[in-house]
Structure 1
């Protein structure tokens, strides 16, 4: 299971502690405010929301998984103990520019050791600094769409400007720059973390764990191939998808009948179609998969296409393993791959390295 999880106080205790800003609970839990999409420390001094608008989390990382973005008042990414100035300076930059990106090589030029900052974030939040930046970019974009009513979906998702400035700039977007279609985005809870689901008019086109390392890249590829833009909204496919995913995790479903939209190259589509033929509770190696598509020398290419699969669980790439039985190559994390294989066949993973 995700190591960031830990026991929480009761909901009543957490609610009262947040409303009263009880100091002894600082960093004991975190609060997500549904109406604003923001994440807060338990002692944050912002105006308190209604009790129905509160979500409680064991760590900031888990809250990021669920789409919340850090409050700029209480700075939940800064622990209650002494935080180094170089960390504070970096997070100040992120606060001022939610689209902030910086490579490890650029950190080194600023005399900041990338390994040092990686260790600090892993110690305090069980997430890398680059992983946090990715979460912040994605969650801020969807947050703009959900909570700033002045912005059009297209403007909110693609802008890098402050919200007020974009609102003032309305009407400056050319019609031919608008996407041809929209992809509704929602989150589906599972026992191993939330899934980010996307759907257009024809079916499900995205189903990924929210902390997948390449999620941001996959979203950009999906937008480009479908000439589409994402927005946080509803789809008639989401209710059925959530129902079937819940049935899968409760052991009541072995197959899915949701329409899928999988834009890709002919080779990628061939590989993805081959993955769907692996039965529930069974496994296949990358070599066996390449033989199945009559391209036995394309083992590496098959592995790359597996990695580009944007429909987790339903296109079950977790059932593809290394030739030596190693659990390798799963974007959602190897601990999830093991969980899914054991869910489908408890005796299966005993052979794995």
Structure 2
């Protein structure tokens, strides 16, 4: 590790991380910053370990960006968005610099869908949006890449539960994936607003999706709604520290107590934190600390509804679905830390 670090060997990026005791910063092995004395360096296997040890990510080599979608998948996703009606063959994927088996494994692992199911859902979601905007069904069939009206109608009905002529009864949860400096996030939206925003590695994510499908009595499909367009811009501004309050329209549901907790979360100012005890007191129920913690954990709109701003009375961090290390980074980001 010492040889790799001193030689700025990029082949070890992601294998381990180097932390500098004198600056409190951790880096990729390939970082070109000036090398400190050996006794001031320690190594960590993961980003999480480095952050728990009190180190902050380097602004030069940006070690957190290793956790974003790889370039070869980005090319595939751009191609799908550019030509949503196209049926991609193994040869098409090879021309994009990707192996078909690798692509299929990635989609199942990270999106919970096969590659073909993702493409089909994306095409049908786009067709639904175009019909809503006034396109004819004939145009939608062509733009979605279907060879016949009957094939399109059957696939559309099987996915949404209604034929194309009854779009007023259709309101799927459209899912889009976002890159952030702290890892990829998934956002779900219905026509009423954004209903989900989570880091993709949250353990409860599949449970949350089931809850959303049950509540809205609908299906989930890949897609990009106007709410996603708004959110994408706002997330970029938030992580650039130029936005403090989100304006993207949201819709949420919970028990009356959960709703009260979330309303209080909305009132916590940017860059500040409160304790679970204080949150319970604000609700007029000082003994409900554990219930407050559970309601915090049921929040499905991470960052926007800022449950990360609630900490223990001692000042320690606890209870964040995206990982405590991310909670620490979000608090640090809002407080202006580097």
TM bucket, shorter chain:
0.5 to 0.7
| Cα distance, 1:313 vs structure 2 | 0.6
2:9 corresponds to which residue?
Answer: none
The 1:150–1:30 alpha-carbon spacing in structure 2 relative to 1, beyond 3 Å, is: closer
1:237-316 correspondence to structure 2 within 5 Å: 237-316=227-306
| Cα displacement (A) at 1:201 | 0.8
Q: Where in structure 1 are there 5+ consecutive unaligned residues?
A: 9-28, 38-45, 56-69, 78-134, 154-166
Query: Counterparts in 2 of 1:79-228, with a 5 A limit?
Result: 136=108, 139-141=111-113, 143-148=115-120, 181-228=171-218
CA displacement 1:65-88 (0-9 Å, x = unmatched):
xxxxx95479979xxxxxxxxxxx
Query: Which segments of 5 or more consecutive residues in structure 2 lack a partner in the other structure?
Result: 1-12, 17-27, 31-69, 82-89, 126-150, 163-168
Asked whether the equivalents of residues 180 and 227 of structure 1 are also in contact (C-alpha less than 8 Å), the reply is no
Q: CA deviation at 1:4?
A: 7.0
Distance in 2 between residues matched to 1:258 and 1:73, nearest whole Å: 35
Deviation at 1:312, TM superposition (A): 0.8
Instruction: Give 1:238 shift.
Output: 1.4
SS in 1 for 2:219: strand
- Report the CA distance between 1:149 and its aligned residue: 7.1
User: Aligned partners of 1:224, 1:197: CA distance in 2, in Å?
Assistant: 17
CA RMSD of aligned residues (A): 3.9
Q: CA deviation at 1:258?
A: 1.5
Task: Number of aligned residue pairs: give it.
Answer: 234
CA 1:54–1:203: 2 relative to 1, 3 Å: farther
Identify the residue that residue 341 of structure 1 maps to in structure 2: 331
Give the Cα separation in 2 of the matches to 1:268 and 1:226.
18
Provide the C-alpha distance between the structure 2 equivalents of 1:321 and 1:234, rounded to a whole number of angstroms.
34
Is the alpha carbon distance of 1:3 and 1:303 closer, same or farther for their aligned partners in structure 2, counting shifts above 3 Å?
farther
Q: 1:242 to 1:4 in 2, by over 3 A?
A: farther
Please tell me whether the aligned partners of residues 145 and 231 of structure 1 are also in contact (alpha carbons under 8 angstroms). Answer: no
Contact preservation (8 Å) 1:145, 1:151: no
3-state DSSP of counterpart to 1:278? coil
Between the aligned partners of 1:286 and 1:149, the Cα distance in structure 2 is 41
Report deviation, 1:228.
Answer: 2.0
For the residues of structure 2 that align with 1:176 and 1:345, how far apart are their CA atoms? 44
TM superposition score normalised by structure 2 = 0.59
What's the counterpart of residue 223 of structure 2?
Answer: 233
